[in-house]
Amino acid sequence: MQVLTDAQWAKFEAAIEAVKIRGARPRKQERRTIEAIIWRLGNGAKWRSIPAELGPWHHAYLGFRRWAVSGVWDRIMAHVVAEGEPKLAFACIDGTIARAHQKAAGAGPSKPTM
């Protein structure tokens, strides 16, 4: 399963090299992991729903989390925009931390107390 075309991957790879991630070393399966992350964000699915062809879901989650905490995703997106790509917005709201009001789940009106 391929999420990115070779041309898209070449741009993304150039952005990764340009931001000079500290302590990073080339990984054999880096493209597959990043494609798993992009697949998950594009579909809005749970991490465990990542197809097996894209590798272990936990590996993709750890890579995403590590880069999110250290600000790597922000630097990659800034580099892509600086290279003339369209202005992009990158946001991820995880459903496990975004809480809805109780009535959003179908709760009926509460009975008045006397």
Q: Is residue 64 part of a domain?
A: yes
Domain of 72 in residue numbering reads as: 6-82
If one counts every other C-beta atom within 10 angstroms of the C-beta of residue 28, the result is 6
Q: Over 90: is that where the pLDDT of 58 sits?
A: yes
| pLDDT per position as a tens digit, 5-25 | 888 888 888 888 887 776 555
Q: Is residue 95 part of a domain?
A: no
Q: Is residue 101 part of a domain?
A: no
Q: Is residue 23 part of a domain?
A: yes
* Mean of all residue pLDDT scores within the chain: 77
Q: Is residue 99 part of a domain?
A: no
Q: Is residue 89 part of a domain?
A: no
Domain total for the chain? 1
Q: Is residue 10 part of a domain?
A: yes
Q: By C-alpha distance, which of 29, 19, 24 is closest to 54?
A: 29
**Average pLDDT value for residue range 97-113:** 63
Q: Is residue 62 part of a domain?
A: yes
**Is this structure's pTM higher than 0.75?**
no
pLDDT at 6: 87
74's CB contacts (< 8 A; 6+ apart) are: 90
* Pair 35, 2: CB distance under 8 Å: yes
